[in-house]
Amino acid sequence: MPIYSEKLPPDKARYYNQDGFRDQDEFHHKNIDQTAFRVLLLGDSFTYGAAAVYNHRDGFADVLQKELEKTRPTLVWNTGIPGIGQKQELHLLKRYFPMLTPQIVILGFCMNDFYDNLYPMECITCMKRNLDQSIRAHL
């Protein structure tokens, strides 16, 4: 069941799944519709949907899912985490690709990612913890 902020009306709530990602879909193999077109998104704050301040449904991942669903059933998993680089995204790919079996993987890359790649791999734990704390602050 998605976690959402009760301080906001339901149509403006930010949804997070049990893995802590800004996504209403759970990341479990048993819940996957194998007939759906499956997309895994990797990226930083842009992929996360930081610009969609008040409505999860306006983020890049959700807009992509809405557009793809016009032609076929679609699942889009958003693993975007603000502030990470490709080293950390590779870790997420190795963790979720075998479980979710996406048909396509989209890597969100922005110019600041050159600098984010300078952080050591261990920073993903710190960044995820900071993101989790930020989410709890909004609940």
Output phi, psi for 107, to 5 deg: -100, 115
Query: Is the pLDDT reported for residue 54 higher than 90?
Result: no
- Return the CATH class of domain 35-138: alpha beta
Please state the pTM of the whole predicted model.
Answer: 0.74
Contact in structure between 71 and 134 (CB atoms under 8 Å)? no
Share the mean pLDDT of the chain.
Answer: 77
Tokens of 13: 């709530």
For tokens 């409505």, the residue is: 55
User: How buried is 115 (Cβ within 10 angstroms: 0-12 exposed, 13-18 middle, 19+ buried)?
Assistant: exposed
Q: Is pLDDT larger for residue 17 or for residue 70?
A: 70
Alpha-carbon span 119 to 18, nearest angstrom: 26
pLDDT at 71: 96
Alpha-carbon span 60 to 79, nearest angstrom: 12
Query: Is the pLDDT reported for residue 127 higher than 70?
Result: no
pLDDT at 50: 78
What percent of the chain has a predicted confidence (pLDDT) above 70?
68
User: How buried is 106 (Cβ within 10 angstroms: 0-12 exposed, 13-18 middle, 19+ buried)?
Assistant: middle
Strand partners, 105: 40
Quick: pLDDT tens for 29-43. Answer: 776 788 999 999 999
Q: Is pLDDT larger for residue 38 or for residue 22?
A: 38
Quick: pLDDT tens for 80-93. Answer: 988 888 888 898 99
Average pLDDT over residues 19-30: 75
Contact in structure between 22 and 49 (CB atoms under 8 Å)? yes
